[in-house]
Amino acid sequence: MWLVILSFAAAITTAIWYVFDNGQYKLSTLCFILWGASIMVFVDHVMGYLEENGDFIEMTANATLLGIVLLIFALIIWEIALLWNDPKGKLKKALKH
């Protein structure tokens, strides 16, 4: 399920980035994080399927929770990158006062 969650989030983020983003909010960074994670999870699922002949998509509560945690972690990394770049300069103004 975590492959589905990350891939869906990557596809939605890519569509939003393509249509609406002007580069200010670094949505391209979020797209790269999510697509990279999706590719890594896909490779993990393929290797697990080939080695263990198990289920390709695991539909359990733990797999769903793992997908949500990975998505939250990707968003946290993106927010840190966004704060580091400070596109509106709000952080710099707050630190000056």
pLDDT at 5: 95
Nearest-5° Cα angle at 69, 64 to 72: 130
Torsion of CA 63, 68, 72, 77, to 10 degrees: 40
pLDDT at 78: 94
- CB atoms < 10 A from the CB of 67, how many? 21
pLDDT at 95: 74
pLDDT at 33: 96
pLDDT at 8: 96
Ranges of the chain with pLDDT below 70: 91, 97
For the chain, the domains span: 2-96
pLDDT at 66: 92
Q: Where would I find the H helices in 1-97?
A: 2-20, 27-52, 61-85, 90-96
Q: How far apart are CA 59 and CA 2, in angstroms?
A: 9
